[in-house]
Amino acid sequence: MKSSKGKDNASSLFGIKKIPGDNQIRNLLDPIPAATIFGSFQQVYQWLKKPGVIKKFFYLDEEILIALDGTEYFSSKKISCPHCNCRNPRNGTTTYFHGCVTPIVVSPEQKQVINLEPTFRTLNCHISCPPPET
């Protein structure tokens, strides 16, 4: 979270003094199913329907620009589940991972963006990947 200048957004924007590390954040969030936050996205959709809100993001003939970003949020050579994707590089190792695509409403006229509900990539390629050794 810290930038190259030694400051972070949580501190400068929100006045947070102690910021948990990556491992602590993972420990807190990993047990929570991702679907539990989907209600928040429904609230965002309802907010966007209010008069004038989405108009701030219109661009070129009232079009909405949506940026897509693919990311992996879990990766392991030893742990997998039925929902994992997998990768078999030429070196013979198998990596299991979870990934998603996150759509974001953007506009050159706005500093803010609006995150939309992610789509989870579930290729379920265990057919071609061996199970991890236990």
Count CB atoms within 10 A of the CB of residue 31.
7
Kindly report, residue by residue over 89-98, the tens digit of the pLDDT. 788 888 888 8
d(CA 95, CA 78): 8
Kindly report, residue by residue over 3-46, the tens digit of the pLDDT. 555 667 777 777 888 888 888 888 888 888 877 888 888 888 88
d(CA 77, CA 16): 35
d(CA 2, CA 5): 8
pLDDT exceeding 90 applies to what percent of the chain? Answer: 9
Q: What is the largest CA-CA distance in the chain?
A: 57
Stated as kind and residue range, the H or E segment containing 27 is: helix 22-29
Q: Is the pTM of this model over 0.85?
A: no
d(CA 16, CA 10): 6
d(CA 103, CA 66): 6
- Mean pLDDT taken over the chain: 81
pLDDT band for 65, please (50, 70, 90 cuts).
very high
Contact between residue 115 and residue 132 where contact means Cβ atoms under 8 Å apart: no
| Domain parsing of the chain, residue ranges | 14-127
pLDDT band for 1, please (50, 70, 90 cuts).
very low
